[in-house]
Amino acid sequence: MQKADRLTKLPPYLFVQIRNKIREAKERGIDVISLGVGDPDGPTPGHVVQALQAAAEDPANHQYPTDEEKGMLRFRQSVASWYRDRFGVSLDPEREVLALIGSKEGNHHLCLAALDPGDLALLPDPGYPAYYASAVFAGAEVERIPLDRGDGYLPQLDQIPPEQARRARLLFLNYPNNPTAAVAPLEFWTRAVAWAKAHDVILVNDNPYSEIAYDGYRTQSILQAEGAIDVAIEFNSLSKPYNMTGWRIGMAVGNPELIAGMSQVKENTDSGIFNAIQYAGIAALEGSQDSTRALIGVYQRRRDRVLEALRRIRMLPDTPKATFYVWSPTPEGKGSIQFAADVLDRAGVVVTPGVGYGQRGEGFFRISLTVPDARLEEAMRRIEEAYA
């Protein structure tokens, strides 16, 4: 049997490749420490787990989810209240909020709702690989928009070629950024909204790292920019701030026509999120945020340890204001795949090669902070010894 042509257009998925390398190294007897995948290592807060348990015991929640593809109104109201309190953004929970089975699913369904075959999607380079796959599945053409270190990894929108700007249907952005950990100030979002309106382009911010920020920094929502609701949609997730990656619950907020389009795709694709998980999501958003504040402290301590170790061996990483990643140039101009292989061979540590996020990621690597303290300390000790 032959696979569909669209699958031949996809590169090997980066994190599957990383898992394969880890397995192969372990089979050779290496004690591998993976700093390659951003999956929080701590437990979900207890009050969130308890909310799930209580809701799961109620037989009323054992049937198809309430409001199926949209998400239960109670959850959407909770999201709207959280956006109001956190960002000062007013949202209509009926029309401008959609529950998601994680923000990655939202990226995919937005592309199916907004892109026709032959439409042009503009994607950041470097950028999260799933954006490319989502655009390809929708039949769209793709152009890469460079993100350069000297520009703070913010796209220079006025330098997008006029023909690309004219044809573009959708622009994917992601701040705080994976993989670079760059952040976008409100002034940037204001300019981006104006550019999107001028060129009739859908503007997307994938924002699952909004609550993982350091040194008192507060991230921005694209919807804080004046007029953003006219052209923009933002994805967010409970995965990172509440250690809920496996729970698969997130949200899309923004332009009501785009929300309606995504909802229409979802009603023909999935049957929504298990009600008990939505009740757990409400508990996360409305309950104590002490666990998230403590989590940020853990990641900041780990961030500082990684920066210290890399600088001690004469590497030049950026200091992230947000996310749980550290992004750094490779030493001595080494290719990113070559360097990642070298670190695995010499130290038994997995780092992510930057080229996996696009050609502009060549010459860089990413370290994830989502491993227990003792293992991170051991990983950095090994790297320091290998490259001293």
CA gap 228, 202 in Å, rounded: 10
One of 3.90.1150.10, 3.30.450.20, 1.20.58.220, 3.40.50.300 is the CATH number of 5-43+290-387, namely 3.90.1150.10
Fold of 46-285: Aspartate Aminotransferase; domain 2 (3.40.640)
List pLDDT tens digits, range 307-334: 999 999 999 999 999 999 999 999 988 9
Any idea what DSSP says for residue 150?
A: G
List pLDDT tens digits, range 101-141: 999 999 999 999 999 999 999 999 999 999 999 999 999 99
pTM of the predicted protein model? 0.94
CA gap 214, 326 in Å, rounded: 13
> Which sequence spans correspond to the domains of the chain?
5-43+290-387, 46-285
pLDDT higher than 70, residue 15: no
Q: Give the chain's length.
A: 388
List pLDDT tens digits, range 251-294: 999 999 999 999 999 999 999 999 999 999 999 999 999 999 99
Enclosing H/E stretch for 299: helix 290-312
CA gap 146, 57 in Å, rounded: 50
Question: Which tokens sit at 169?
Answer: 């249907």
